[in-house]
Amino acid sequence: MPKLDYLGRTTIPKVIRDTLSLEPEDELEVKLEGFRIVIEPVLNKCRICGEQTEHKVRNIPVCKKCLDWLNGSRAKKMG
């Protein structure tokens, strides 16, 4: 059973990492739900609004809504 170390770190069992195809340096969101600690991979979440998305820009998940918004504000700046 994984334990917390003195810095508050723990290990996600290999079988779980393999099931979710988690790699070193993948981002994880840690949330508290009642007395449960929920660790959720942020693999397919838009880095701007947090919506689930399959859309990526240079391998970074960004949903189409935010991409349109970014393109819109860039177009405005350029006049």
In the complex, what is the shortest distance from the CB of residue 69 to Zn ion, in angstroms, rounded to a whole number?
8
In the complex, what is the shortest distance from the CB of residue 36 to Zn ion, in angstroms, rounded to a whole number?
27
Cβ proximity to Zn ion: between 16 and 70 the closer is 70
Structure tokens at 61: 């998940």
Which residue do the tokens 């993948």 mark?
Answer: 26
Cβ proximity to Zn ion: between 22 and 48 the closer is 48
Cβ proximity to Zn ion: between 43 and 51 the closer is 51
Q: Is the dihedral of CA 69, 71, 77, 79 positive or negative?
A: negative
Residues that bind Zn ion in the complex, under the rule CB under 5 A: 46, 48-49, 51, 63, 66
Burial class (CB in 10 A: 0-12, 13-18, 19+), 22: middle
